[in-house]
Amino acid sequence: MLMKRLGWMFLAIGLSLAACAPNNVKEEKSWEKYFSKYKVEGTFMLFNNSQGEFKVYNLERAKQRFLPASTFKILNALVGLHTGAIKDTGMVIPWDGVTRQSPSWNQDLSMAQAFKLSAVPYFQEVARRIGKPTMQLWLDSIKYGNMKISRIDTFWLDNSLLISPDEELGFVKKLYFDQLPFAKTTMKSVRDVMLMEKTPKYELSYKTGWGNNGAKKIGWIVGWIEENRHPSFFVLNIETEDPNFDIAKNRMDILRSILTDAGYFKGEM
């Protein structure tokens, strides 16, 4: 019962670590090896909702704020759908003809395609259609990170908007449980596009992100894994100065290694 009450308290306060009972958070130092393997700094948070078990590697980093990069597409999509800037997940925005580094972006894309391909130009256009005053209203209402906007189409990439792994975890947990101030159909639409893997044993839903802070690359994966209708919420945050670091591959390797270590992917949680 205590764990259940704590779970709902997390929803109310954004899963603030400062408010957690010390015995509810276990520092999992054994996960350090997965970060050392790739020579990165980082943190990993895992909250098993049904068991009330909360494990964290690198607790101090979990409370620090970083640019959200493409993890902001979760909120961008929610606001876009709510305001009508995105009609539905099938809404296509035509390619603007600018050739970009990622070939998959150089085409007309629907919202669902753009989300799964993490197409920055699509969601930059969505942000422009939402507009700065409306976007600011929603950042303030949800208390998303430090709630700062610079340019409307770059603020989640240029180190204006910052959010901590702890805050990211609270945000996706609220999304899962329909605890954000959007229509349930809107939240379900975003949850649906976050579903990346579906097997008989588990469903894995997440959004990735990576961006630059000076010479440092910041990488994210935020979401949940669900087995037997029991969700566990996770946030991976990593940092490297290696210009040749394969962030897309390596962050996923770290995520899957830690979740496997913790007993997931077997359909037994």
- Active-site amino acid positions: 70
For 131, other C-beta atoms within 10 Å of its C-beta total 13
8 A C-beta contact, residue 235 and residue 44: yes
The helix-helix angle for 165-176 and 184-194 (nearest 10°) equals 120
- The tokens for 151 are 């340019």
Long-range contacts of 243-246 (CB under 8 A, 24+ apart): 245/38, 245/40, 245/217
- Please state, in angstroms and rounded to a whole number, the distance separating the CA atoms of residues 126 and 119: 11
- The tokens for 158 are 């240029």
List Cβ neighbours of 208 (8 Å cut-off, separation of 6 or more). Answer: 70, 71, 118, 219, 220, 221, 248, 251, 252
For CA atoms 66, 70, 75, 76, give the dihedral sign: positive
- Please state, in angstroms and rounded to a whole number, the distance separating the CA atoms of residues 209 and 226: 21
- Please state, in angstroms and rounded to a whole number, the distance separating the CA atoms of residues 237 and 214: 17
The helix-helix angle for 132-142 and 73-83 (nearest 10°) equals 120
What's the full length of the chain, in residues?
269
